Structure 1
Amino acid sequence: MSSQLKIRAATHAGTWYSGSYTTLNRELDEFLKEAPPQIAGARVLVGPHAGYSYAGSTLAQTYKAFDGTNIKRVFILGPSHHVYFKNKAMTSGCDTYETPIGNIEVDRETISALLRDHPKLYNQMSLSVDEEEHSFEMHMPFLYKVSCNLSQGVPKVIPIMIGSTDEAFEQKVASSLKPYYENTENAFVISTDFCHWGSRFGYTSYTPNAEISNLTDLKHSSSILNKKDSIPIYKSIEFLDKKAMQIASIGSYKVFRKYLRETENTICGAKPLSILLSMMESSSTNNNESNFKWIGYKQSSRVTSPRDSSVSYASGYAVVD
């Protein structure tokens, strides 16, 4: 007698996005219709994980670019928003991820191999932790939608949650995943929003002239905003985010980590993205064509006052042979 499947419920359906099959299907069609066309060979993706009313159009750009030809499994690396853990990568213990339009199978075989071969790096999250976290769930309906008509069907997923890390741990995780990255049957997705700006996020850094060297914290003084040549806060946020995107496109793990130290930009998936950059940089498949290209960028609101807040969203891809 077979054991019962362990299903990770779509816990954010009905709040962060529609829980109705018909409504969600229609909304995904509308989002994807407005996105740029598929990119041949795009099997490395970056996209946000906010509610679809905020980030749906940006996430659609990410998944419209995806070339799922011959892809059998998708590794999704995302940050932990609700639980703290250090120097462990947490994998799903479920068999299936539920979405309102169709379920996606978890690759238990690959997860078991990671747990077996790298016990000091990987652990398994509880169902409650899995279902509370939204960074994977928000990607699943889009992945299902763009993959359901592929000849090989919807790829299996390997969700990997990254918590607090140091550089040595990130390099070890990158090394453990590199053989999978170099296999063209696998795709990699980084689930991340970009700058979380405002006092409620503990980040009010600002540059008046789009220079990292001139970063200041507006919680100490906002008089700098009144100077004639000072740019608006939302332009400062855009500069910081696009600088991060530019550096990620260079493909250097060390340069990206240096940027994070200098700016402390609140990119919630910065650690998963760092791991991917380390993996890409050291891979034999790396070439100039493998660097990130960025499709879209937006902010949830245009911040003009230190009392305001916003979250940024970006969509990107890399072509890897």
Structure 2
Amino acid sequence: MAHASQRPPAVAGLFYPADPNSLHAQVAGFLSAALPAEHIDAPKALIAPHAGYIYSGAVAACAYAGLAQRRDLVRRVLLLCPTHRVSVRGMALPAAQSFITPLGAVPVDREAWLQARELPGVIVDDRPHAEEHAIEVQLPFLQSTLDHFAILPVAVGHADPLDVAGLLEALWGGPETLIVISSDLSHYQPYRQAQWRDKATIAQIRQLDASLSPDQACGAGAINGLLLAAQRHRLTPHVLDLRNSGDTAGDRERVVGYASIAFSEDLDRAHH
């Protein structure tokens, strides 16, 4: 029985290999094959998909491929996801103090956790995290690209985007803090329709338009909070990859959309 302070893997062997060597090799393969649309030096935030690796691993790798250069710099990752199995009002932090994957344990950042717990809209509840895959599938990518880091896992339910932005603002930090939003795009549309819808969603994200709906992106609540914070901090979104399951490993009748997007501080704007 796992100790209550640890959150054991829920989808190892389902969404990704349960064997550490196979998992390490698969993630390394995705990362070495990743060809992001552009190179972003030091992204402050990433949006990455969270399906099974055969479907979205290659797209997620485009978000993470550049992190290895900051391997020793990033110490804290604010990791926000939607809730797929348990309904949540607001945002849920786990009580668990670490998340386990086949590649090892990832500690929860205690200081960030204590700070976040006091914020509006935040509750502490392990239940939304217990079976949730959306944070878990990001961890092997982070474990493969960063050295010593802790996470703040946040399951975003029916939350006010202003509260989500408030949490990000409170824990914004400097280059040692990375924000990762785990989200897929459209769900179960025919291939061409999905492409059209996802392009429209991406156009909205490029405009930092924080009015995405859950049918555009399952992580809409978390993305909208990021977009509000991105407006304040003058971050620029860069689309690194945009595909769907019909491009990777599925049929084209009912596809799920995936994007990798990096948000960077626009130095030009900062000078004005």
TM-score (norm 2): 0.87
Question: Residue 122 of structure 1 corresponds to which residue in structure 2?
Answer: 122
Question: Residue 153 of structure 2 corresponds to which residue in structure 1?
Answer: 159
Moved >3 Å (runs of 4+): none
Question: Residue 131 of structure 2 corresponds to which residue in structure 1?
Answer: 132
**Residues 280 and 68 of structure 1, relative CA distance in 2, 3 Å threshold:** farther
**Residues 69 and 82 of structure 1, relative CA distance in 2, 3 Å threshold:** same
Query: What does 1:76-115 correspond to in 2, within 5 Å?
Result: 76-86=79-89, 88-115=90-117
Q: CA deviation at 1:267?
A: 1.2
Question: Residue 28 of structure 2 corresponds to which residue in structure 1?
Answer: 29
Query: What does 1:1-12 correspond to in 2, within 5 Å?
Result: 6-12=5-11
Question: Residue 182 of structure 2 corresponds to which residue in structure 1?
Answer: 191
Q: CA deviation at 1:194?
A: 0.6
Does 1:310 pair with 2:260?
A: no
Query: What does 1:241-252 correspond to in 2, within 5 Å?
Result: 241-252=198-209
Q: CA deviation at 1:96?
A: 1.1
Q: CA deviation at 1:69?
A: 4.9
Distance (Å, rounded) in 2 between the aligned partners of 1:176 and 1:51:
28
Residues 178-230 of structure 1: CA deviation (Å, up to 9, x unaligned): 142253321100100010025xxxxxxxxxxxxxxxxxxxxxxxxxxxxxxxx
Identical counterparts, % of pairs: 25
Distance (Å, rounded) in 1 between the aligned partners of 2:63 and 2:125:
27
Residues 265-308 of structure 1: CA deviation (Å, up to 9, x unaligned): 3410111100000111123xx1xxx2111111221127xxxx93
**Residues matched between the structures, number:** 256
8 Å CA contact 1:91–1:123 kept in 2: the answer is yes
Distance (Å, rounded) in 1 between the aligned partners of 2:66 and 2:202:
17
Distance (Å, rounded) in 2 between the aligned partners of 1:180 and 1:68:
20
Structure 2 segments unaligned to the other structure (5+ residues): 268-272
Q: CA deviation at 1:139?
A: 0.2
Q: CA deviation at 1:97?
A: 1.0
Does 1:180 pair with 2:168?
A: no
Say what the alpha-carbon RMSD is for the aligned residues. 2.1
Distance (Å, rounded) in 2 between the aligned partners of 1:316 and 1:69:
22
- Return the index of the structure with the highest Cα Rg: 1
| DSSP-derived class of the 1:291 partner | strand
Q: CA deviation at 1:102?
A: 2.1
| DSSP-derived class of the 1:293 partner | strand
8 Å CA contact 2:72–2:146 kept in 1: the answer is no
Q: CA deviation at 1:236?
A: 2.4
TM-score (norm 1): 0.74
Q: CA deviation at 1:112?
A: 1.2
Distance (Å, rounded) in 1 between the aligned partners of 2:216 and 2:208:
20
Does 1:272 pair with 2:231?
A: no
Question: Residue 224 of structure 1 corresponds to which residue in structure 2?
Answer: none
Structure 1 segments unaligned to the other structure (5+ residues): 199-232
Distance (Å, rounded) in 2 between the aligned partners of 1:158 and 1:175:
15
